[in-house]
Structure 1
């Protein structure tokens, strides 16, 4: 396969890592049911044949075996053990029982803590600023070529476009509002202009208006006054 193909993706990690993350630990060993030490909390990196109890280790001499521990019902492994076989950089570490550990799988968090500025790139759990992932499983997903992670955030293009649209609407609304208020708030004069004086032409017209005819006494002619 070419660069970035499935084979390259699988070769990025030790062959035992993905099987390890899928196992269920702290179950009773089916081979040593009668023993009080039959809890399966061990894993052989060479055999990759499932969880082992401490009694099973007798059959894995000279093999690379690691111990899985538990914290709040989640599987962890001590950094001192796992860092011998795996690069755990960018995975947040925790101090549990005076030992530094990393979690095997994701632990989604419904709501990040108050004031949190950094979260896991896969499950969005709150992290310290210097880390990218909360667990080994999240690192595998987050650093794969096609991790399929889609966060509910606007893309950079949308982030640039959206404020501009809002700004235009806001400016348009503000400008329109300003014009409307400008008309409504403009004060009218407190006086009414007086009637203009009559012009000379209108005065003459009024003067030429015929008077009321009156009959002259004694049967004389009508005259205009």
Structure 2
């Protein structure tokens, strides 16, 4: 019970609904209009928020904090520039897609036999990367702790040694947020995270 309260204080109330939302479906209200795919999410509408389209944003979310979800290889991503203003993304592997740094929302299947079912040894044998996600054992390109926001959420719930909450007054996480000097920040987090892992 105490762990649940601690984890809740480290996670904004909109994060779990964001991670479980279904994106890129046709909007039921604007099905016949162009740009009617549901690829937006409101951070101000509370835990009952779901994905919506460009037209719904104009109609119902004017003045709200809204982020746009994009797709990469059939997986949902969010641009670092949008999300780092609302969330501490430190420790999460960033990728560059269409010249913009992005984060994956959720865990992706590990290619060639790695991942959750295969464990860390299967992940290391399928690639030469020494870095793996602490939660799903996905191979990572750089020394980060997590492959996605969903895996960081699982990490917060598991041991509360990290957070999604930004320091008051900060527009970006105080430790680099994953893109300004991501390699040194991630290396420090990876070392401290591995000390606690066995």
For normalisation by structure 1, the TM-score amounts to 0.61
Aligned to 1:181: none
How many residue pairs are counted as aligned between the two chains? 146
Q: How does 1:79-94 map to 2 (within 5 A)?
A: 79-94=80-95
Deviates more, 1:6-15 or 1:35-44: 6-15
Q: How does 1:191-206 map to 2 (within 5 A)?
A: none
Contact 2:106 2:149 in 1 (8 A): yes
Which residue, out of 129, 133, 137, partners 1:124?
Answer: 137
* Structure possessing the higher relative contact order (Cα contacts under 8 Å, 6 or more residues apart): 2
Please give the secondary structure, in 2, of the residue aligned with 1:134: coil
Aligned mates of 2:109, 2:133 — CA distance in 1: 9
Aligned to 1:56: 56
Aligned to 1:17: 15
Shift of 1:86: 0.3
Aligned to 1:76: 77
Please give the secondary structure, in 2, of the residue aligned with 1:108: coil
Root-mean-square deviation (CA), in Å? 1.9
Contact 1:90 1:132 in 2 (8 A): yes
Structure 2: which 5+ residue stretches go unaligned? Answer: 115-122, 161-197
Aligned mates of 1:142, 1:7 — CA distance in 2: 15
Aligned mates of 2:129, 2:31 — CA distance in 1: 46
Q: Does 1:144 align with 2:157?
A: yes
- Answer with 1 or 2: which has the greater Rg: 1
Shift of 1:34: 1.8
Aligned mates of 1:99, 1:129 — CA distance in 2: 17
Aligned mates of 2:146, 2:13 — CA distance in 1: 21
Aligned mates of 1:124, 1:94 — CA distance in 2: 17
Please give the secondary structure, in 2, of the residue aligned with 1:91: coil
Structure 1: which 5+ residue stretches go unaligned? Answer: 148-158, 160-225
Contact 2:91 2:146 in 1 (8 A): yes
Contact 1:108 1:124 in 2 (8 A): no
Deviations 1:33-92 (A, max 9, x none): 221221000001011421110001112111000000000000000000000000000000
Aligned mates of 1:96, 1:124 — CA distance in 2: 22
Aligned to 2:188: none
Aligned mates of 1:146, 1:127 — CA distance in 2: 21
Deviations 1:178-209 (A, max 9, x none): xxxxxxxxxxxxxxxxxxxxxxxxxxxxxxxx
